[in-house]
Amino acid sequence: MDVTLAVSVDAYFHEVVTEALSSVKLEVSESASWYLVGLLGDFTKARLTDEPLGMKLVGMQTDPGERVKTLKHVGDTSLYVAGFFAESLNRSLVDVEYYVGIGQSAYAQLARHFHAGRSLQMIYEELADQFPLFVDVLALVRKRVDFATPDVSKLYEIWLRTRDEWVEKKLRDAGIIVDVGRTVQ
């Protein structure tokens, strides 16, 4: 989908998230899918800080409202960072596994906060239980969002490494012929 044709940011992200969920073969509730859409929309406006998320959990308030807010922030930020910045995390002191562990823990604690059967409780359980797969979904979303305006040389380099069908399609859309033998002409 061309981002310029999207009716809204949510509509664009919904389509991209739906495609990514399908690619990862992750079946989730409609609520969890829309949660991801909302998370992506929120991060289009939010700035990431370099405050360690683990410290936020350690210094968490006992006030239930503040606790929920902090857990949601830690879970959402961990999911976003692990999905969108996995490559750069390989060069940092903390890796993707740190964000997966802390995010999974935050969502699990959030799920326990809500009464059984409530919509939010089920969404947070789903996010906690399948956190690594949700990271994979956001990694695919990132790839698709990064190439809304394709840099053909960057696409080609990625295609050479991954042979990803979506990247191949983008190359074809840009007028690059990729033959059956998997070489670019």
Question: How many structural domains comprise the chain?
Answer: 2
User: Residues 57, 44: one domain?
Assistant: yes
Task: Identify the CA nearest to 72 among candidates 33, 41, 44, 113.
Answer: 113
Phi-psi region of 175 (alpha: psi -120 to 50; beta: other; left: phi over 0): left
Residue range(s) defining the domain that contains residue 162: 150-185
- Residue 40, exposed/middle/buried by CB under 10 A (0-12, 13-18, 19+)? buried
User: Residues 118, 39: one domain?
Assistant: yes
User: Residues 49, 91: one domain?
Assistant: yes
User: Residues 106, 61: one domain?
Assistant: yes
pLDDT in tens, the chain (185 residues): 444 444 577 888 899 999 999 999 999 999 999 999 999 989 888 888 778 888 888 877 778 888 999 999 999 999 999 998 887 776 667 788 999 999 999 999 999 998 777 889 999 999 999 999 999 999 999 888 765 555 666 667 666 767 777 777 777 776 666 654 544 44
User: Residues 61, 114: one domain?
Assistant: yes
Q: What is the pTM of this model?
A: 0.75
Could you give the count of Cα atoms lying within 13 Å of 158 in the half-sphere of its Cβ? 20
User: Residues 77, 157: one domain?
Assistant: no
